[in-house]
Homo-oligomer: A and B are copies of this chain.
Amino acid sequence: NNNVINVNKTDKNISACQNGRVESTNQQYRTIQDPASQRLTWYKPPLTVLVIKKVRDVAVLSPFVQLVQWLIEEKRMVVFVEAQVMEDSLLDQYNAFSTIKDKLMTFRDGKDDLTDKIDFIICLGGDGTLLYASHLFQESVPPVMAFHLGSLGFLTPFQFENFQEQVNNVLEGNAALTLRSRLRCIVMKKDQKGKGDEAQGKKPTNLLVLNEVVVDRGPSPYLSNIDLFLDGKHITSVQGDGVIVSTPTGSTAYAVAAGASMIHPSVPAIMVTPICPHSLSFRPIVVPAGVELKIALSPDSRNSSYVCFDGRHHQELKHGDSLRVTTSIYPVPSICALDQISDWFDSLAECLHWNVRKKQKHLD
C-alpha cells in the first residue's frame, strides 16, 4: 500500500528555535509555516477507494451510482462501500447500479478492519459523512474528498457537478490539504479503576472526535458543576449547562453557537467553550494542542453529567469518573476544493453568513 501525504518536506515548527543556527549566529528566530505548503502527494496512484454516502437521503442515490460506476469502469479502482448499501432496494432501481453491484467490496462498521485497505475516501452528502469517515478510522485516515449535494458545508467543499474532472485533479495530486486535528477522548470510570478490563467485560471508552466532545447536564434540570484540569492543574470550574472541548474544525460547529471565536482548522489548538455559564466573565479559551485536559464532576455537584462525542455515543459521567482529552496524532487529511484559506472563508460565508451584511450608508 502506497499513498503518502507529503506535507512539507522542509517543515520547521513555528514554536521552535533551531539549535544549530542559534549557536552559530545568535539569531533566535523561528520559521513560520505557510499553510499553503500542505499539499497532497501520491507516491503511487491510489487503487482502493471508500465511498461514503449520506443515509436516508434519496437525492444522493443518483450521484452515488454515477460516481461508483465511473470509479470502477473508467478509473479501474477497487471501490469499498458499507455492506448495508447492498441491501438498499432504492438503489436497485438504478440500472447502472446492478451492473456494478457485484464488483463492490463491502465492510461492516465495527466488524471489518479497514486499516491499510483504503487509499482514498470520497464522501457524498453532508458534513455527517466526514464525521462518519473520521469515526471509521480511529488511527491513520486516508485523504478524504467530500462533495456536498445541497449547499456548501464546512467539511464538504466540493460540488458534484463535474465530479470526474475534480476527482481526476485530485488523483493527479493537484490539491491542497487541510490536516484537521482530532481529539482523543478517554473516559475513565471510577469503578473500573484497579480492575482488569476482563473482569469488567468492558473496555473504557476511547474515541477520536473531529468536532467536539461535550459534557453537559443532559436531561437534568440542574446546572452542571464540572471541574477542568489542564496538565494536571485545576484551572477552573464550570457552572452552567456544560462545556465543549473542540478542535479548530469544531469551533464552527456547536462551539460557535455557544459564543466561541472561529478558528481555522490548521491552527494547532484546543478550544474550551462553556455552555450558558453562570458567570459573566467565562469567555471561551484556546489552549495549545499539546496539553492534556481532564474533566470531572465537581465533588459538590448534585447530579451526574453526560458526555457526547461528535453528537453521538452519549454516556453518563458519574462522580469519580473522568474524561481525558488530548490532541490525537492522527488528523483527518481533508482535501481542499480551492485552498485552505479560500475553502474556510467560503464555508464561513455560506454556512454561518459570517459578516454578510447590508452596507450602511453614512448619515446625511
Contact = CB atoms under 8 A, between A and B. Distances in A.
A26 to B, nearest CB: 5
A358 B151 contact: yes
Interface in A110-158: 116, 125-129, 131-132, 139-141, 150-151
A266 B288 contact: yes
Contacts of A279: 281, 352-353, 355-357
Number of identical protomers = 4
Interface size class of A (residues with CB under 8 A): 35 or more
A286 interface: yes
Contacts of A311: 221, 363
Given A126-B363, A279-B356, A26 B116 contact: yes
A91 interface: no
A4 interface: yes
Secondary structure of the A contact surface, majority rule: loop
Given A277-B355, A362-B223, A364-B125, A286 B261 contact: yes
Given A19-B9, A55-B364, A353-B353, A28 B141 contact: yes
A26 B140 contact: yes
Interface in A307-345: 308, 311-312, 314, 326-327, 329-331, 333, 340-342, 345
A141 B22 CA distance: 12
A331 B265 CA distance: 23
Given A116-B26, A357-B239, A363-B127, A11 B16 contact: yes
Contacts of A37: 290
Contacts of A54: 364
A31 to B, nearest CB: 7
Interface string A2-46: 111111110111111111001100111111111111100001000
A268 interface: yes
A215 interface: no
Contacts of A286: 248, 251, 261-264, 267, 269, 286
B11 A23 contact: no
A94 interface: no
Given A179-B30, A363-B128, A277 B261 contact: no
A289 interface: yes
For the complex of A and B, the 9 pairs showing the least CB-CB separation, nearest first, are A128-B363, A219-B219, A280-B281, A279-B357, A14-B268, A13-B13, A29-B329, A261-B261, A11-B16
16 contacts: A4-B26, A7-B16, A13-B13, A13-B16, A23-B43, A26-B140, A28-B140, A34-B291, A35-B290, A218-B219, A230-B341, A235-B345, A257-B277, A262-B285, A278-B360, A351-B360
